[in-house]
Amino acid sequence: MAEEQAVGKVVHYYAKPMVAIIELAAPVKAGDTLHFKGAHDDYTQQIKQMQFEHQDIAEGSVGQQVGVKVDQKVHDNDQVFLVA
């Protein structure tokens, strides 16, 4: 099983564009694989696109709230882990 590091939590989910807003507790980069885990969700996906203040970014840093395009619905307060 792959090691995982907690990197933040979902603070909002926008259904129409399928975007999760994640408050970061650790840095992440485009191309990293994230694991979303909560009461209703448990799935893994690669970061294909990430934005901060409506601008594409390659890396998100601690304290930022970044938008990540997701393939499945997530919920507020879902924990987000970086898969190593």
pLDDT of residue 35: 98
Q: Rounded CA gap, 17 and 38, in Å?
A: 21
Q: Rounded CA gap, 56 and 71, in Å?
A: 18
Residue 1 has pLDDT above 60, yes or no: no
Q: What is the pLDDT of residues 27-62, one digit of tens each?
A: 999 999 999 999 999 999 999 999 999 999 999 999
Of the chain, the percentage scoring pLDDT greater than 70 comes to 99
Q: What is the tally of structural domains in the chain? A: 1
pLDDT of residue 84: 86
Residues 6+ apart with CB under 8 A from 20: 10, 12, 13, 36, 67, 68, 70, 74, 78
Q: Rounded CA gap, 76 and 84, in Å?
A: 24
Q: Name the pTM for this structure.
A: 0.94
